[in-house]
Amino acid sequence: MFLITGIIIAALFLVSTSMPFLSWVLPFYKIKKLENADLKTKVIANIVALAAIGWVDIKFLITYIGVFSSIEVLYYLFKKHGYKIAYFDRIFITSLLIGIGISIYMYFNRVGLNIGFEQLKNLYLQKTTFSQYEVDMAFKYIKDNFVYLIFIYINMTVFLTYYFLNKETFVKWDVSYLWLIPYVIVFFINKYTSLGGSLTENILEILKIVYIMYFMRIVTGILNEKIKKQSLCFTVGVFLALISPEFAFIFGALASCIRIKIVKS
């Protein structure tokens, strides 16, 4: 059992890293499978997984431990010691901690990353039909919004992990209005001081996400009162947030300050 579980974890790691939209599958499986297991089972399964992943590429262990294992550990810590913290706050805090960790790692390895970035850029020019201008524009966007893009990936992973683990309580999840405080502060810094730039813009976009997620929960709850099919309602909520993220942010932020009660007709 230990061996099979460890090999499955390693296989899911490769799936999660190669297909970003399935990045939640690994932490979901590990928590679901091992949450109630004894310490011996958890340790052996993880050792097998580490050995299998390291055998493929030793560098993969940084991602496995730094991202996926961190999601798992923080999930357990919040469940045991942070049960009073709202679900969306747990998701956002987890995403922030891991995102900051990745950003720090990227900063100290920026020379090698810049070289790899240029190599990837040249590869796109050689292997695709995109023009130099189009490739330059695309890679400039990635560079200018690198922190935000990292956070989007991590937040999506954490959010979907929490959602599929606790889907039955999703319509009751809450969020704190306190995230608006750093948003307002950074907004004024970005708009009215010389410190404004791509970093502060990235931070603003990141802080919006917690209320965009909350908007999806509100839409899901409202529709579920009528339709009684949460998966469909959740899909609609995600779709609305994607087509109008600014509206989703504003609505979610306002809703965090006002207790919205859904009155059954």
DSSP states of the chain as a string? -HHHHHHHHHHHHHHHHH-GGGTTHHHHHHHHHHTTS-HHHHHHHHHHHHHHHHHH-TTHHHHIIIIIIHHHHHHHHHHHH-TTS-HHHHHHHHHHHHHHHHHHHHHHTHHHHHHHHHHHHHHHHHHS---HHHHHHHHHHHHHTHHHHHHHHHHHHHHHHHHHHSGGGGGG----GGGHHHHHHHHHHHHHSTT-SHHHHHHHHHHHHHHHHHHHHHHHHHHHHHH--HHHHHHHHHHHHHH-HHHHHHHHHHHHHS-------
Average pLDDT over residues 173-197: 90
User: 46-56, pLDDT tens digit by residue?
Assistant: 888 899 999 98
Task: With a cut of 80, say whether residue 196 has pLDDT above it.
Answer: no
Amino acid 265: pLDDT? 43
User: 21 in a domain, yes or no?
Assistant: yes
User: 158-170, pLDDT tens digit by residue?
Assistant: 999 999 999 999 9
Amino acid 259: pLDDT? 57
Task: With a cut of 90, say whether residue 60 has pLDDT above it.
Answer: no
User: 33 in a domain, yes or no?
Assistant: yes
Amino acid 234: pLDDT? 94
Question: Which residues are CB-neighbours of 224 under 8 A, at least 6 positions away?
Answer: 171, 230, 233
Amino acid 252: pLDDT? 93
User: 221 in a domain, yes or no?
Assistant: no
User: 10 in a domain, yes or no?
Assistant: yes
Task: With a cut of 80, say whether residue 127 has pLDDT above it.
Answer: no
User: 13-34, pLDDT tens digit by residue?
Assistant: 888 888 888 999 999 999 998 8
Whole-number average pLDDT of the chain: 87
Kindly report the pTM of this predicted structure.
0.89
Task: Give the pLDDT band (50/70/90) at residue 263.
Answer: very low
Amino acid 222: pLDDT? 92
Amino acid 260: pLDDT? 45
User: 95 in a domain, yes or no?
Assistant: no
More confident position, 213 or 225: 213
Amino acid 36: pLDDT? 81
User: 142 in a domain, yes or no?
Assistant: no
The tally of domains found in the chain comes to 1
Task: Tell me the three state secondary structure of residue 143.
Answer: helix
User: 23 in a domain, yes or no?
Assistant: yes
User: 65-122, pLDDT tens digit by residue?
Assistant: 999 999 999 999 999 898 889 999 999 999 999 999 998 888 888 777 777 777 877 8
Parent domain of 33: 1-83
User: 55 in a domain, yes or no?
Assistant: yes
